[in-house]
Amino acid sequence: MGVRQFSASLLLALLWPNTPAQPLRLQHFTPVSMRPVGSPIKIDYSWFYGEQNYATTNGSIVVRLPNAIDVIDESSLRVTERYVFRHKGTCGVAFDGTTVVALTGCLTATSKRFTLWRLAPGSRRAVAVSHLRPLTWPVSFAIGDGMWFIARGDGTVDAVNLETGRVTTHRPRRTLAKGRGAVVASWLGEHRLGLNGTVVDVRTWHKRTLALGAERLDAIDGYVIAHGTNGITVFDDSLDLFRRLAPGRVIDRVALSDGVVYAQIGLAWDEWDLRTGRHLGLVLPETPWLLQIVS
- Give the DSSP H or E segment for 55: strand 54-57
Residue 53 DSSP code: G
Could you say which DSSP state residue 285 is in?
A: -
What is the residue-level pLDDT of the chain in tens, covering all 295 positions? 333 333 458 899 888 776 666 778 899 999 999 999 999 998 876 444 445 588 888 889 998 888 889 999 999 999 999 999 887 888 999 999 889 999 999 888 888 999 999 999 988 999 999 999 999 888 999 999 999 999 998 889 999 999 999 999 998 755 444 445 689 999 999 999 999 999 999 999 999 999 988 999 999 999 999 999 999 999 999 999 999 999 999 999 999 999 999 999 888 899 999 999 999 999 988 776 777 888 7
Q: Is residue 15 part of a domain?
A: no
Rounded to the nearest 5°, which phi and psi values hold at 82? -135, 125
CATH code of the domain covering residue 102: 2.40.128.630
- Which pLDDT score, from 0 to 100, does residue 191 have? 97
What is the structure's pLDDT at 2?
A: 34
The answer to whether 272 and 278 are in contact (CB under 8 A) is yes
Residue 15 · residue 23 · CB < 8 Å = no
Q: What is the DSSP-derived secondary structure letter of residue 174?
A: P
Q: Which domain holds residue 86?
A: 55-180
Q: Assess if residue 59 is contained within a domain.
A: yes
Handedness of CA 207, 212, 216, 222 (dihedral sign): negative
> What's at 137, amino acid-wise?
W
- Is 145 part of a structural domain of the chain? yes
The pLDDT assigned to 7 comes to 43
pLDDT at residue 175, as a whole number: 45
Classify residue 187: in a domain, yes or no: no
Query: CB within 8 A of 26, min separation 6: which ones?
Result: 12, 13, 14, 15, 40, 41, 43, 61, 72, 77, 294
- Would you say residue 201 lies in a domain? no
Q: What are phi and psi of 53, to 5 degrees?
A: -95, 0
SS (H, E, C) 57-79: ECCEEEEECCCEEEEEECCCCCE
Query: What per-residue confidence (pLDDT) applies to 21?
Result: 66
Q: What is the DSSP letter of 203?
A: T
Number of domains in the chain: 1
| 139 inside domain | yes
Task: Give the whole-angstrom CA distance, residue 52 versus residue 31.
Answer: 25
pTM: 0.89
Q: pLDDT value at position 208?
A: 93
CA angle 62, 68, 69 (to 5 degrees): 15
Omega of the bond leading into 23 within 30 degrees of 0 (cis): no
Q: What percent of the chain has pLDDT over 70?
A: 90
Give bridge partners of residue 254 from the DSSP assignment: 263
Q: What 8-state DSSP symbol labels residue 277?
A: -
Quick check: is 213 in a domain? Answer: no
DSSP class of residue 183 equals -
In a domain, residue 17? The reply is: no
Which class for 198: exposed (0-12), middle (13-18), buried (19 or more C-beta within 10 A)?
A: buried
Instruction: Compute how many other C-beta atoms are within 10 angstroms of the C-beta atom of residue 230.
Output: 20
